Amino acid sequence: MIEALEPLVDGGRFAAKAVAGEPLSVRADVFAHGDDLVRAFVRHRRAGTRRWTVAPMAPIGNDRFEAAVVLPEPGHHQIEVLGEVDALAMWRRDATRRAAAGGFDPNDPVIGSRLLAEADELVDGRLGTLADELGRVDGTGPLAAVLAALDELDEVIASRPPATTATPASSELPVLAERPLAAFSSWYECFPRSASSVAGQHGTLADLANRLDYVAELGFDVLYLPPIHPIGTTARKGRGNSPVAGPDDVGSPWAIGSRAGGHTAVAPELGTLADFDELVDEAASCGIEIALDIAFQCSPDHPWVRKHPEWFAHRPDGTIACAENPPKRYEDIYPLDFTTSDREGLYAALLDVVLFWVRRGVRVFRVDNPHTKPFDLWEWLIASVRKVDPGVVFLSEAFTRPKVMHRLAKLGFDQSYTYFAWRDHKDEIVAYFEELAHGPGRTYFRPNVWPNTPDILAKSLQHGGRASFVARLVLAACLSANYGIYGPVFELLVDEPAAPGSEEYADSEKYEIRQLDVGDPRSIRDVVRRVNAARRAHPALQRDGSLRFHRVDNDRLVCWSKRDERTGDAVLCVVNLDPEWPQSGFVELDLGALGLDWDAAYEVRDELDDAAYTWTGPRNFVLLDPARSNAHVLALAPAARSPEPSATFPPSGRGR
């Protein structure tokens, strides 16, 4: 019987996610009836190939077995669990007990000799002549001697492959292995049109190329651009989302398409396809990937509106339906009609859009509102793209209901925006990230956490200034392996909303050019640089599964750690959620989660200011003053042990 396979998503309907080249823990209950002993195996192969790689699974108690599987390359893989009854082990167990009790059953050597000969064939004769010797055994003493000799060969015996009669589990485990960027990425979003260094001038892709050094210096590895395509003029929105655009208004980049082209064109005011290619190349030389925005919607001026009117919903009066959230209407945007009679043609055109940019070297996409398009479009489109390049990464921008967000992650999106922007209080933060790291979605839903976006000037940033920005930055970047900021408004602490209570930015860059001085001395770019450097230096911060919150006796202080099992690297973070007042308290660390002994002394060094402290035991004092810094990102290292380690219970924590 093989049950309770892990990681299994919806009974195998969807693939679990893994990182190519990294161990993936596969588990299953494997058992037989009665007191039968069993062996369990895991085997895997790339989808579409024939040869399995087989490995034994180790028992971890309560009839559960585990193996760490390494899928060598990106792409879809099949994993299967096998089980078989271990007749040889059962015979050894029973014969040993009988021999120990002093009895001799002449059937023992006969049965054992046969089982041993079978096993010997599977290990290419490495059991030597033991089967023959056993066949000649004639008493308890000699039998015990052979059994003891077998004990010496335990490893050889355990190493034998499963017999051809081994039972496979009824369901396979589909797993998508991905390149490391899918699991660990630092995103920087900005509008190319604001990138000119000449005041009042429309920025270009070339201007943006000049800002690559800045982005690289900050430590980001993904530079994400809102749509770079021609913007429609019909019903164009003016500044501040005004329904009427002035002659100089640049329009929303999400109103895609004009006479200059659609989803595969570059807006003339930004440059040319050649400029784009150059940007991609220059970014690559800085260690940065360019991410594009996939927004499957059209301005009324999009070439598709004339060429493929059947791809749009027509109302009884013959007009094309514009985007709408009644009573609000978005006249500058026509949604596509996925119920069109030419569904095949439309889907193919959308895939072609993505493949067009993939062929130009884009391997990261942020998908705009995927939840407003059919699920089957995404499942098919993402799978189709992965056939061309399994390394393409898709981020789902679905700020919607939990089940819908999870479905999108299951069907293929690598990363997903989250509710982080609306999780302000300690209990909300702890509960939400516990769910993300340890809930049922952990096998397929990879959070990508943003303190702000062009659509979201989070409430938590609107009051508190620098202290709030630093707190939200450290929370995002150190709670989640994937995170991003929308800059330069973020590092420049821009916090004015369009209206009281609104989450829209005043002077929103969605509708106008906004030139800001990234060299402004009030910028927190140095904190951003240090946080990203810590993320690169610490494997612990590059995955989400090890997240552990630690108790602090102060509800404004959040404390958590992450640890990389392979290297032992551990990072402990403390954030003060109060932007106004110093907060202090005692943290009570789960030392086991940090890989520390209960009585060990250890050094913690703050990656944000290089201050170092020596701590002992679980209870330690912390104080964070928003006037200086309201976050610790502490690298842990066991300190040299004192010559006479205490044999008593640990003393209460020494102050920092």
Q: How many CB atoms lie within 10 A of CB 625?
A: 13
Q: Does 384 bind its own copies (CB under 8 A)?
A: no
Using the rule CB under 8 A, which residue among 48, 72, 106, 592 binds its own copies? 106
Smallest distance from the beta carbon of 37 to its own copies, in angstroms?
12
- Residues 360, 61: Cα–Cα separation, whole Å: 51
**Site mask for its own copies (CB under 8 A), range 326-365, x = bound:** xx--------------------------------------
Using the rule CB under 8 A, which residue among 76, 98, 529, 605 binds its own copies? 98
Nearest to 280 by CA among 299, 266, 296: 266
Residue 137 or 279: the one with the smaller Cβ distance to its own copies is 137
The tokens of 251 are what? 């329009």
Q: Which residue out of 80, 189, 301, 397 is catalytically annotated?
A: 397
Residue 54 or 87: the one with the smaller Cβ distance to its own copies is 87
Using the rule CB under 8 A, which residue among 58, 97, 139, 438 binds its own copies? 97
Using the rule CB under 8 A, which residue among 125, 200, 246, 316 binds its own copies? 316
Q: Does 101 bind its own copies (CB under 8 A)?
A: yes
Helical spans, DSSP H, in 24-86: none
Q: Which residue out of 368, 414, 491, 495 is catalytically annotated?
A: 368
Q: Does 13 bind its own copies (CB under 8 A)?
A: yes
Nearest to 411 by CA among 437, 436, 384, 449: 384
Q: Are 256 and 327 contacting, i.e. CB atoms less than 8 angstroms apart?
A: no
Q: Does 422 bind its own copies (CB under 8 A)?
A: no
Nearest to 381 by CA among 422, 413, 341: 413
Which are the contacts of 56, defined by CB distance < 8 A and separation ≥ 6? 39, 40, 41, 67, 158, 159
Using the rule CB under 8 A, which residue among 51, 306, 315, 566 binds its own copies? 315
Using the rule CB under 8 A, which residue among 211, 373, 442, 632 binds its own copies? 373
Residue 369 or 616: the one with the smaller Cβ distance to its own copies is 369
Using the rule CB under 8 A, which residue among 210, 372, 384, 515 binds its own copies? 372
Active site residue 397: yes
Q: Which DSSP helix (H) or strand (E) runs through 551?
A: strand 548-552
Helical spans, DSSP H, in 264-417: 273-285, 303-307, 343-359, 375-388, 402-410
Q: How many CB atoms lie within 10 A of CB 599?
A: 17
Q: Does 500 bind its own copies (CB under 8 A)?
A: no
- Amino acid at residue number 350: L
What secondary structure, in 3-state letters, does 435-503 show?
A: HHHHCHHHHCCCEEECCEECCEECHHHHCCHHHHHHHHHHHHHHHCCEEEEECCCCCCCCCCECCCCCC
The tokens of 242 are what? 């005004």
Using the rule CB under 8 A, which residue among 6, 22, 63, 435 binds its own copies? 63
Active site residue 368: yes
Q: Does 165 bind its own copies (CB under 8 A)?
A: no
Smallest distance from the beta carbon of 404 to its own copies, in angstroms?
6
Residues that bind its own copies (CB under 8 A): 1, 3, 10-11, 13, 29, 31, 33-35, 62-63, 93-95, 97-98, 100-101, 103, 106-107, 110-111, 170-171, 315-317, 319, 324-327, 371-375, 401-404, 407
Catalytic positions are 368, 397
